[in-house]
Amino acid sequence: MEQITPDGARNILAPEELDLMNRYWQAANYLSVGQIYLMNNPLLKEPLAEEDVKPRLLGHWGTTPGLNFIYVHLNRIIKKYDASTIYICGPGHGGPGLVANAYLDGTYTEVYPEITEDTEGMQKLFKQFSFPGGIPSHVAPETPGSIHEGGELGYALVHAFGAAYDNPDLIVACVVGDGEAETGPLAASWHSNKFLNPINDGAVLPILHLNGYKIANPTLMARMSKKDLTDLFQGYGYEPFYVEGDDPEYMHQRMAEVMEECYARIREIQSEARAEGTVYEMPRWPMIILRSPKGWTGPKFVDNKKVEDFWRSHQVPISEARQNADHRSQLEDWLKSYGPEKLFDENGRLIPELKALAPEGDLRMSANPHTNGGVLRKELKMPDFRELAVDVTQPGAVMTSATKRLGMLLREVMKLNAEERNFRLMGPDETASNRLQDVFEVTDRVWMADILDYDEGVARDGRVMEVLSEHLCQGWLEGYLLTGRHGLFSCYEAFIHIIDSMFNQHAKWLKTTQHMAWRKPISSLNYLLTSHVWRQDHNGFSHQDPGFIDHVVNKKADVVRTYFPPDANTLLVVGDHILRTYNRVNVIVAGKQPQPQWLSIEEAIVHCDTGLGEWKWASNVPEGEEPDVVMAAAGDVPTLEMMAAVDILRQKLPEMKVKVVNVVDLMALQPKEEHPHGIRDVDFDALFTENKPVIFAYHGYPWLIHRLAYRRHNHNNIHVRGYVEEGTTTTPFDMVVQNRLDRYHLAMDAIERAGGFGERGAAALNYLKEMRAKHHDYVREHGQDMPEILDWKWPYPKG
Amino acid sequence: MEQITPDGARNILAPEELDLMNRYWQAANYLSVGQIYLMNNPLLKEPLAEEDVKPRLLGHWGTTPGLNFIYVHLNRIIKKYDASTIYICGPGHGGPGLVANAYLDGTYTEVYPEITEDTEGMQKLFKQFSFPGGIPSHVAPETPGSIHEGGELGYALVHAFGAAYDNPDLIVACVVGDGEAETGPLAASWHSNKFLNPINDGAVLPILHLNGYKIANPTLMARMSKKDLTDLFQGYGYEPFYVEGDDPEYMHQRMAEVMEECYARIREIQSEARAEGTVYEMPRWPMIILRSPKGWTGPKFVDNKKVEDFWRSHQVPISEARQNADHRSQLEDWLKSYGPEKLFDENGRLIPELKALAPEGDLRMSANPHTNGGVLRKELKMPDFRELAVDVTQPGAVMTSATKRLGMLLREVMKLNAEERNFRLMGPDETASNRLQDVFEVTDRVWMADILDYDEGVARDGRVMEVLSEHLCQGWLEGYLLTGRHGLFSCYEAFIHIIDSMFNQHAKWLKTTQHMAWRKPISSLNYLLTSHVWRQDHNGFSHQDPGFIDHVVNKKADVVRTYFPPDANTLLVVGDHILRTYNRVNVIVAGKQPQPQWLSIEEAIVHCDTGLGEWKWASNVPEGEEPDVVMAAAGDVPTLEMMAAVDILRQKLPEMKVKVVNVVDLMALQPKEEHPHGIRDVDFDALFTENKPVIFAYHGYPWLIHRLAYRRHNHNNIHVRGYVEEGTTTTPFDMVVQNRLDRYHLAMDAIERAGGFGERGAAALNYLKEMRAKHHDYVREHGQDMPEILDWKWPYPKG
C-alpha cells in the first residue's frame, strides 16, 4: 500500500506511550487471531499442534486489525478526557476484535465469569468463538458494549445517530466499512447530521474505514480519488480527517493526532452552541477516513497468493492451518509476531502497564451503560387516555379519525416527558398527513438546516423526526431504543416493507437478548401503520400492500404483537398499552380517515384486554341459541363493512341468527401454546362455535387468518375475505368491492355458507348482486361512492 | 424564490422558439390541471360550473410543472439531434404531466384510440384521470413511455442506469425529486456511474429537481448550501449544471443552454471513448440541478395561505373547487392563465406550430420502444444444459455444488449471447463466493474506477455487476429487464429481504401489464437465493431468514414461481427453464455447498416437469400397497435430511412402508384453480394419500406448506418441519437439529405419526433420542459434526 504522507503530522505520542499503545493493539490482534484459530495452547507455550487448531475455521480477519487499531485510540481519548464513548462496529463480522477488547479491559470476565483473565480463561475465550454452544462469529447481543450486530450491512451510522440523539454527554464512534458504505441506507445515513442538535444531543464520530476490498472485489470508495472522496463528505456536511498508511508507528502518531483534533472539534462545536443556547447554522462535524490495509499485520502471502491488503484476507487467511503443517507453521509465526510473551504474563493475564491503557468502570466502551439501554431506561410518564376518549353512546353514530386521537395521546406523552427528553416520534414526512398533528402543539420537527420565516413546525429542538427515508426512521428509532429510550414510527402501511430486513434484524436481536440476564429489557419498537391499503384509493395499486404483518408473524411469538383497533377508543387503549411494553415489536394498523366509532372507552378497555370478543349489541342471536353464522372482522375498514353487512342481513333476513365478533389483537387467534396472547381452545370455540360458518373480514392477505386459526376446531369453516392484490386509483368503497371485502359480498358469503335460507335468501342474494352492479355503474359515472354507502350508519340502538 | 443569476447565461432560444416552447409547456400544464380537476368543459368554453369539477380531487400538482418544463426541453434536444431518449420520472405522482405530454405528442391517442385529439378526447382524458374505471394518479404501466411507477420513492436513478447499460445509443433522462433524493436507495444510486461504460452503454442524464418541499416539510437537499450541493455531486463523480429561478423566460433560456451543454458533454465523452476503443479513466458525466418553485405557475395563495413555492402545492392546491364558488373561480383563472385558446384550436386539437415541437415516431419519449421493452426483446440463445449435467447413476454417491453447475450454465449463456450483449448477472459481491465463478472464464465484473495490476476479474466491459447494495442489484436488473433484456440476481437468502418492497413494486407492475395488450412481455425477474438459511452456520442468526418466499407468494399467482431444486441436475433444468420465461418473478433457492446428487439429468427433467413426484427408488412400499407414512421434502438440505431419515427408518424399522416424495416447484402444491402450476386434487391424493401421515421437511418457515396445501384432502395429516427461528454460529447439522429438521427428528416424527410401531418402534425412538444426545455433546466438544453425519451416504442401489 502506498504511504500517503500528510502535511504537518505531529508526533503526539511519546515513545513509551506509542510502544504501549502498539502493544495493546497487538494484544487485541493476538486475541482476535486466537479466537479464529485456536482451541488449545492459547499462549503458544507449546509448539502449535494440529489438535490446537479448530477443525472448522469460521471468522473474519480482514477488518479486525483496523477495528482494534481504532479501539485503542478511542480508549486513549476516553481515558484522557473522561469522555463517555460507545463504539458502533459497522463491520460486525469483525466480532473477534470487539470481543478481544472487551476481554482486555476486563468487562468480558465481569459479564461472563467463566472466561477468566488467565490462561484457562483465554483458552475458553478462544474456543467458544464460532464454536457450537459458544458465541457467534459476529458482534452480537452476546458481545458486551454492542448495540449493533452489523451482519446485515447498512445500519451502523443510523444506529449511531439514534444513540446520540438526546444523549448530550455521549460520543458515538461509528466505524463504517467501505463495503457497508456502498449500501443505500448507509449512503443516506450521512445526512443524519442535519438532525443532530449540538446542544441537546451527543456527538457522532464517523470513521470510514477504507481497507479496499469486500469478499472478492475492490470497494467503490477505496477507488475514488481523494478529491472526490473529500468533496463527497464535505458535501454531506462533514470535515474529513485522513489517516492513511500501513506503517504502525506513523499510523499511531497520525491517528492520535487526528483523534485529538476531532475530539477538540466536537467539544468546540458543543461548547459554543451550549454557551449560545442556540444554533445559528448546522455545525460541520468532524469525521475520520482511515485507509489501512485489509488484514493488516496478517500474512502477506499464503501459498504465494497475495493476502494482506487484498480481498483474500477477508475471512480466514490461512485456511488449512489444522491439517497442513506449512500452514500451521505460518499461523504460528503470525501469532508469535505479536509477541504474546510481552503482552500477557505467565498466567495469561494482560500485563499491568497495558491494562492501564484501558478506561475504567462505565467508561470502558464495552461496559458503557448506554450499550445496555435497559439499565438506563425510565418508564414513560403516561397520561390518562380515558380523558382523550371519544364519547360513544350509540355505536356507529360518531365519525372521527382514530389516528387523530392517537395524536392527542402522543401529544400528552410528549408533554409529560419533555423534561426527560426520552420520547421521539419518527416518520417519513407524514406525521401531520397521518393525522398525528396534535403533537405539533407541543413540539416541532427537528431541523438543523436553514429555517425560512414562513416554514411551519420545524425547529432546532423538535422531537418529531421526519425524513423521506423509512430506513433512517427505523434505524434512528432502533438506536434510540437500544440506548434506553422510547418512541413510535408512523408509516404508510405499504412502504413499511422497505424496512422488512431491518425489522428482521431487530426482532432477532430482541429474541436473543431475552435469554440473557445481563441485558436489561428495552422499550418496544412500536409501529403505527396508517394510510393503509384500504385508503390508498388515491395513490393507487403501488401503495396497497398489507403484507408486513405476514412478515412480522414469521418471527418468534415472544417478540411480536399485532393490533387492529376498529376505532379511536380501541386505538387509544392499544396505544397506551404498547408504550408501556418492552422487548417487543408492536404493530398497530389503523386508518386516518374519519370512521364510525363503535365502543365507549370502557368497552374498549374490556375488548382490548382479551384482544377479541363478541359485540353482543350487534348480534341478534337469542340467549341460549346457536348462531347461523359468525361474522368476524379485524381491522377498521373490515369492521365497517362487516357491520354494514350485518345490517343488511338483519334487514333482509331477520330470521338469520348472526353473531358478531371483532378481533383487535390478531395473536389472540393463535393457540395459547403458540403465542402468549393466544386464547384457550374452549374460549375460541365459545366465540367462533365448533361447526358454524364463520365469515371473517380481515384487513390483510386472507391467508394469515387461516394460519393463525389452523389448529382450532372450527378452522375448516372459516371463510376469509381480505386483500387479494386488486386495486387502483378509485373510490374507497370500490377498493373493497374489487377485493370482495365489501358489505354486499360479505352478506352474500354469509347467506351462501349458512345454507342459502330458501327463497328469502335467494331474494336477498339478488338484491346484493343488484347493489354491486349499481355500485359499479355509479362510481364510473359519478366518480364517488353512492349516497347509501357514504351515508350508511349502524341503525340499531344499543342494549 | 430567490433568483440566482448564473454567470454568462446565453440566450440560446430565439424569441419565437422561446414563445413556442413556453406555450408547449403551458399546454402541458393546462392539461395537467385539467386532469386533476375537470370532468367536463375541458376548454372552458362555458363558465366553469360545479358539475364540471370532479367530486373527488385526487392528484399531485406540486411537482408537475417542473416535470413538464423538463419534458419540453428534452423534446427540443431530441428533435434537434435525433437523440433517442427516454424519460424516467422519479416523482411518479406527477402522473398528469407525463400523460399530458404523451397526449400532446400523439402517442396517447395511438395507444388509447378513444382518447382522441379533440375536445371530446380531451374531456375523456381529463375525466379518466384518478377516476373509477379510469387511470391511476401516478405514472403507471398504463402511461405510455414509462418503465417506472415512481410511487415508492428511491428507484428512479437505478432504473435509469439499468435501462442505459448495453444501450449505447440511448440517453436516459432521469428526474429525481428532492424528496426521493432523501432515500437510501437513491443516495446509493448516484454511484451507478462507476459501472457505466461510455463505449457499450448509453448515457444517463440525472436531473435533480429541487422544488424545496415534500408533503409537509422542506427537503434536505433544497436547504443545503450550494457549495455543499456541488461538492456532494462532484464527490459522487458528476459535473453539476444549475438551472435556478422562477422567471419562465430566463428559465427557458438557461435550461436550453444547460441542455445543450450536457448533450454536448455526453456526446464528447462517448465519442472520445468510442474512438479510443478503451476507457482510461471514469468519465465525469454531466447532471442538471433544477431549482424551481413547487407548484410553479399555480396559485400563489389560496385562502390567504402560501401555496406556490411551498408544501401546500403538493397535491390539490385549490381543494374546494367544486362546492366553493370562490375556489372555483380561482381555479378558472388559473386554467385560463395558460391561455388555452392560444394552445388548442376550435376543436381542441393542439395547434400545428406547437405540435411541431414534439419529436416524431419512435423518437417521442412516450413512444420510445425502450419503454416497452418487450418489443425489443430477443430470446436468449440457450446452451444444451444436458451437456453440463452431473453423471448420476447411484443416487447420493456423487457430491457436488449445485450452484457451481448453474455457474457453468450461466457461463454458456454469457458466451452465446456475448455479441447480443443482452444478459447480465447481478449480485452483491458474491458471484464467486456463491460458486458461480465459472462465468468469470468468459467475462469479468464491470468496473470503471482504477484497476490495479493484481486485481482479479474486474474489467471495463465486464457483464457481471457486483456492488454491496441489494437495492442497486435489484434496480439495475429491473431497468435492464424493462427495456427488453435478460438477467439473474444471485443473493444471500436472508438479505434478499432488503428488496422486499422493490419486488412488490415490480410484481405489481407485471400483474398490471399482463392485461395490457400494447405492452409486450418482458423477461422474468430471476433470483438465485443461495448461501441460504441452512448454510449460515458460520455467519450466524442474523444471516438466517427464509421468509422471502412467504413474501413472494402473497403476490398474484400468475406472476410468481418458486423452485427448490434438491441437486445440481434439477437446478440445471430449472435454471434453463426460468431464463426462457417472461413476465414472471422466478425464485430459486439452492445451496452452494457440495451436496449429494440424487437424479440423473433425464430424471431431473421429468421431476421438474411436474414439479414434484415420488422418488420410487427411495420408497419401500410394495406395488399396490399403501404407505404407512409419506416422507416429503422441498429444498436441498431438507432433502438430504429426509433421505437420511428414510435410511434410518429402513434400517431400524424395515417393516415400515415409507413413500418418498420430493417437491421442486412449491407452487405445484396449490390447487390448480389457485396457481397455474398447481396439480389436480386427484394427483395430489395419489401422491400424498388421502389419510396417511405426511412428514414434510421444508426449507423455509413451516407455515407456508400448510397454506399451499390447505385445500387438499389430506392437509390435516401434513406435519411440517422447517426453520423456526433457531440458530447461531454452529455446525451445519446442528442448525437442522436446533430447528428439528434433522434426520433423527424426522424419523421420530414418522414413527410417532404412523402409530408408534410397537416395541420395535419404541426401540427405534430410543436410538434416535440417543443419537440426538450424542450429537449435542459431540459438536460441543469437537466443533464439527459427527463422522456418521459427515460421511453418511444413501446406501441403496437404484432400481
Query: Taking CB atoms and an 8 Å cut-off, how many pairs form between chains A and B?
Result: 340
Produce one character per residue of A513-552: b if its CB has 16 or more CB atoms within 10 Å, e if not: beeeeebbbbbbbbbbbbbbbbbbbbbbbbbbbbbbbbbb
Choose among A153, A224, A538: nearest Cβ to B468.
A153
| CA B158/CA B193 separation, integer angstroms | 10
Asked whether the beta carbons of B175 and B88 are under 8 A apart, the reply is yes
Residues B666-687, mean pLDDT to the nearest whole number: 94
A554/B447 CB distance under 8 A: no
Q: What is the Cβ-side half-sphere exposure of residue B486, based on CA atoms within 13 angstroms?
A: 22
Sequence length of chain B is: 799
pLDDT reported for residue A799:
65
| CA B326/CA B666 separation, integer angstroms | 60
Residue A179 distance to chain B (closest CA, Å): 6
| Helix, strand or coil, per DSSP, at residue A582 | strand
Task: Tally Cβ neighbours within 10 Å of residue A10.
Answer: 10
Q: What is the pLDDT of residues B31-44, one digit of tens each?
A: 999 999 999 999 99
Residue A141 distance to chain B (closest CA, Å): 11
pLDDT at B6 over 90: no
| SS3 sequence of A69-132 | HHHHHHHHHHHHHCCCEEEEECCHHHHHHHHHHHHHCCHHHHHCCCCCCCHHHHHHHHHHECCC
Best of A36, A703, A711 to disrupt the B interface by mutation (most B CBs within 10 Å)? A703
Chain A positions touching B146 (Cβ under 8 A) are: none
pLDDT at A221 over 90: yes
B500/A504 CB distance under 8 A: no
Closest CA to B24 of B267, B260, B256, B180: B256
| CA B687/CA B671 separation, integer angstroms | 14
Start-to-end CA distance of chain A, whole Å, equals 83
CATH topology of domain B619-791: Rossmann fold (3.40.50)
DSSP label at residue B494: G
Quick one: cell of B758? 410397537
Share of chain B above pLDDT 90, in %: 95
Q: What is each CA distance from A149 to A156, B352, B532, B543, in whole angstroms?
A: 9, 64, 19, 11
Q: What is the Cβ-side half-sphere exposure of residue B790, based on CA atoms within 13 angstroms?
A: 9
| B15-371 against B385-595: fold identical | yes
| Helix, strand or coil, per DSSP, at residue A172 | strand
| Helix, strand or coil, per DSSP, at residue B203 | strand
Of the pLDDT bands very low, low, confident and very high (cuts 50, 70, 90), residue A9 is low
If you average pLDDT over every residue of chain A, what do you get?
96
Choose among A233, A449, A731: nearest Cβ to B132.
A731
Nearest CA in chain A to B779: A132
Chain A positions touching B186 (Cβ under 8 A) are: 184, 188
Q: What is each CA distance from B220 to A464, B65, B522, in whole angstroms?
A: 15, 21, 37
| CA B618/CA B643 separation, integer angstroms | 8
Best of B231, B592, B719 to disrupt the A interface by mutation (most A CBs within 10 Å)? B231
The pairing of strands B301-302 and B305-306 is antiparallel
User: How far out from the chain centre does Cα A740 lie?
Assistant: 34
Of the pLDDT bands very low, low, confident and very high (cuts 50, 70, 90), residue B799 is low
| CA B405/CA B410 separation, integer angstroms | 9
Quick one: cell of A437? 398533528
Asked whether the beta carbons of A739 and A727 are under 8 A apart, the reply is yes
Residues B293-301, mean pLDDT to the nearest whole number: 97
Residue B222 distance to chain A (closest CA, Å): 10
Q: What is the pLDDT of residues A83-119, one digit of tens each?
A: 999 999 999 999 999 999 999 999 999 999 999 999 9
What is the ipTM for the molecules in this complex? 0.96
| SS3 sequence of B220-254 | CHHHCCHHHHHHHHHHHCCEEEEEECCCHHHHHHH
Nearest CA in chain B to A471: B184
Chain A positions touching B725 (Cβ under 8 A) are: 508, 511, 554-556
Quick one: cell of A785? 361512492
Asked whether the beta carbons of B554 and B740 are under 8 A apart, the reply is no
pLDDT at B776 over 50: yes
pLDDT reported for residue A3:
38
Share of chain A above pLDDT 90, in %: 95
Residue B799 distance to chain A (closest CA, Å): 38
Q: What is the pLDDT of residues A182-195, one digit of tens each?
A: 999 999 999 999 99
Choose among A512, A707, A734: nearest Cβ to B703.
A707
Residues B151-160, mean pLDDT to the nearest whole number: 96
For the domain spanning B15-371, the CATH number is: 3.40.50.970
A154/B541 CB distance under 8 A: no
| CA A233/CA A240 separation, integer angstroms | 7
Q: What is each CA distance from B557 to A463, B440, B666, in whole angstroms?
A: 44, 35, 12
Choose among A455, A731, A784: nearest Cβ to B218.
A455
A551/B555 CB distance under 8 A: no
Task: Tally Cβ neighbours within 10 Å of residue A799.
Answer: 5
B508/A725 CB distance under 8 A: yes
A218/B734 CB distance under 8 A: no
Residues B244-257, mean pLDDT to the nearest whole number: 97
Quick one: cell of A759? 327463497
B138/A554 CB distance under 8 A: no
Of the pLDDT bands very low, low, confident and very high (cuts 50, 70, 90), residue A595 is very high
Q: What is the pLDDT of residues A614-663, one digit of tens each?
A: 999 999 999 999 999 999 999 999 999 999 999 999 999 999 999 999 99
B458/A39 CB distance under 8 A: no
Choose among A55, A92, A542: nearest Cβ to B508.
A542
Asked whether the beta carbons of A286 and A239 are under 8 A apart, the reply is yes
Nearest CA in chain B to A700: B554
Return the domain boundaries, chain A: 15-371, 385-595, 619-791
Task: Tally Cβ neighbours within 10 Å of residue A743.
Answer: 26
Choose among B55, B455, B500: nearest Cβ to A782.
B55
Choose among A233, A449, A551: nearest Cβ to B551.
A551
Residue B225 distance to chain A (closest CA, Å): 9
Cα-Cα-Cα-Cα torsion A292, A295, A300, A302, nearest 10 degrees, comes to: -160
Start-to-end CA distance of chain B, whole Å, equals 82
Best of A1, A127, A514, A729 to disrupt the B interface by mutation (most B CBs within 10 Å)? A729
The pairing of strands A594-596 and A399-401 is antiparallel
Quick one: cell of B688? 400424498
Residue A384 distance to chain B (closest CA, Å): 30
| CA A150/CA A146 separation, integer angstroms | 10
Residue A68 distance to chain B (closest CA, Å): 20
| CA A54/CA B398 separation, integer angstroms | 27
Nearest CA in chain B to A92: B539
Chain A positions touching B56 (Cβ under 8 A) are: 538, 731, 783-784
B505/A551 CB distance under 8 A: no
Closest CA to A41 of A29, A54, A32, A28: A54
pLDDT at B404 over 60: yes
In A191-267, the DSSP E strands lie at 203-210, 239-244
B134/A556 CB distance under 8 A: no
Q: Is the dihedral of CA A94, A96, A97, A101 positive or negative?
A: positive
Q: Which residue has the cell 437495492?
A: B471
Q: What is the pLDDT of residues A347-383, one digit of tens each?
A: 999 999 999 999 999 999 999 999 999 999 999 999 9
Choose among A223, A508, A728: nearest Cβ to B136.
A728
| CA A312/CA A217 separation, integer angstroms | 10
Chain A positions touching B506 (Cβ under 8 A) are: none
Q: What CATH class does A385-595 carry? A: alpha beta
pLDDT reported for residue A538:
86
pLDDT at B122 over 60: yes
* Inter-helix orientation angle A500-513/A470-482, to 10°: 10
Q: What is the pLDDT of residues B269-279, one digit of tens each?
A: 999 999 999 99
